[in-house]
């Protein structure tokens, strides 16, 4: 019976519930705790002071709770030990072809793939770009080769936008960055 009561109290404490006896022991917000006068000192009569309850008795509270023994000893709040150490992040890109995210910009999607060889970006292919309007095609025919050349020289997505192609430039950089991220994660 003691184990069942302890388990119920432990589960209740974890779930944030309190028993009626816990609520009766807590003073109201404006009232001092039992046995304390409004001035903050204990009354002169020691018989009015609350008596400690024996441990293991229903309603006993020692201020700490202990979980049932399971054979494992991990401190509360500590992460559980893992069997394998996590992989350290790659410092170079893996060789291969990596597709970037399709990024929606004002006039359509921009989507790229990169080819990595020897840990360096050797090619960038445009898989999709805004093409619904003749003006978009005209802008992209001028801007995409400039963005490609700059990205190949920089070997990253930290490149300047092409004037007059702000939307395409931003989509290009985002798609390029997602492809580069995939090359590092592989």
Please determine, for residue 128, whether its predicted confidence score (pLDDT) is greater than 80: yes
Q: Which structural domain, as residue segments, surrounds residue 20?
A: 2-40
pLDDT reported for residue 118: 96
Least confident stretch, 7-21, 86-100, 156-170:
7-21
Mean pLDDT in residue range 170-175: 98
For the chain, give the percent of residues with pLDDT over 90: 50
Number of structural domains the chain divides into: 2
Residues 102 and 179 in one domain: yes
Closest to 145 measured CA to CA, from 108, 153, 93, 118: 153
Residue 156: give its domain's CATH number: 3.90.1010.20
Residue 91: pLDDT band by 50, 70, 90 thresholds? confident
The enclosing H or E element of 140 equals: helix 134-154
Per-residue confidence band for 149, with pLDDT thresholds at 50, 70 and 90: very high
Three-state SS for 105?
strand
Sign of CA dihedral 79, 80, 85, 91: negative
| C-alpha span between 100 and 96 (Å, rounded) | 13
Residues 6+ positions from 137 with CB-CB distance below 8 Å:
131
Name the pTM for this structure: 0.54
Q: 36-45, 131-140, 172-181 — which is least confidently predicted?
A: 36-45
Cα gap 65→24, rounded to integer Å: 19
* Residue 136, pLDDT score: 94
The mean per-residue pLDDT over the stretch 123-147 comes to 96
Whether residue 166 is contained in a domain is answered as: yes
Considering the domain architecture, whether residues 106 and 177 belong to the same structural domain is answered as yes
Residues 6+ apart with CB under 8 A from 153: none
């Amino acid at each position: 019976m003691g184990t069942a009561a302890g388990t119920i109290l432990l589960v209740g404490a974890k779930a944030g519930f309190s028993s009626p006896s816990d609520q009766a022991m807590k003073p109201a917000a404006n009232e001092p705790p039992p046995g304390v006068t409004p001035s903050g000192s204990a009354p002169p009569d020691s018989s009015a002071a609350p008596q400690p309850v024996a441990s293991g008795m229903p309603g006993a509270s020692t201020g700490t709770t202990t979980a049932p023994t399971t054979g494992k000893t991990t401190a509360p709040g500590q992460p559980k030990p893992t069997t394998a150490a996590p992989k350290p992040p790659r410092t170079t890109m893996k060789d291969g072809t990596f597709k970037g995210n399709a990024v929606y910009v004002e006039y359509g999607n921009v989507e790229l793939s990169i080819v990595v060889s020897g840990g360096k970006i050797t090619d960038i292919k445009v898989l999709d770009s805004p093409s619904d309007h003749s003006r978009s095609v005209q802008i992209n025919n001028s801007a995409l080769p400039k963005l490609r050349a700059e990205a190949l020289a920089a070997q990253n997505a930290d490149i300047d936008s092409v004037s007059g192609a702000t939307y395409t430039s931003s989509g290009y950089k985002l798609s390029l960055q997602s492809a580069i991220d995939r090359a590092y994660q592989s």
